[in-house]
């Protein structure tokens, strides 16, 4: 089983739609979780950290389910500018906090 798995997509949605991505992780001792956004051939940019109680930042909501070992990202009212690849990143326990990334889920928002 891969350490961090994501549905590669692409998710093609119209502007204004709500879209959700899931990410599963294999190590139950994982400590922290993040969503990054990556535009084509650019660096990963932190979108949000994922807290145990769930958290929201504007149109974005992140949830963590430790029992089932997955995290989710919900985007409401999609904008054209949301088109990107969304990377799930997991921090495994121990070591000096290396991030393990999923392969990413591609989102394409169309007019």
Partner 1 sequence: EPEVTQTPSHQVTQMGQEVILRCVPISNHLYFYWYRQILGQKVEFLVSFYNNEISEKSEIFDDQFSVERPDGSNFTLKIRSTKLEDSAMYFCASKEEQSSNQPQHFGDGTRLSIL
Please state, as a whole number, how many other Cβ atoms lie within 10 Å of the Cβ of residue 5. Answer: 16
Is residue 108 a contact point for partner 1 (CB under 8 A)?
A: no
Strand ranges (DSSP E) for 11-77? Answer: 11-14, 19-25, 32-38, 45-50, 55-57, 60-65, 70-75
User: Interface residues for partner 1 in 74-103 (CB under 8 A)?
Assistant: 87, 91, 95-103
By C-beta, is 13 or 103 nearer to partner 1?
103
d(Cα 55, Cα 42) in Å, to the nearest integer?
26
Min dist. Cβ of residue 71 to partner 1 (A): 14
| Helix/strand/coil for 74 | strand
- Contact of 34 with 53, CB cutoff 8 Å: no
User: Is residue 11 within the footprint of partner 1 (CB under 8 A)?
Assistant: no
Closest distance between partner 1 and the C-beta of residue 77, in Å?
Answer: 25
| Interface region with partner 1, contact rule CB under 8 A, candidates 16-24, 41-49, 56-64, 65-73 | 41-49
Interface pick for partner 1 out of 104, 106, 107, 109 (rule CB under 8 A): 104
């Amino acid at each position: 089983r891969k350490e961090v798995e994501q549905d590669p997509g692409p998710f093609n949605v119209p502007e204004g739609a709500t879209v959700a991505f899931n990410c599963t992780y294999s190590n139950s001792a994982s400590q922290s979780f993040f969503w990054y956004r990556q535009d084509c051939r650019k660096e990963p940019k932190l979108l949000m950290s994922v807290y145990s109680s769930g958290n929201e930042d504007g149109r974005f909501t992140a949830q963590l389910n430790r029992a089932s070992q997955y995290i989710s990202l919900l985007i409401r009212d999609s904008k054209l500018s949301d088109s990107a690849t969304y990377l799930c990143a997991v921090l495994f326990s121990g070591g000096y906090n290396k991030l393990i990334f999923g392969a990413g889920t591609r989102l394409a928002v169309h007019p």
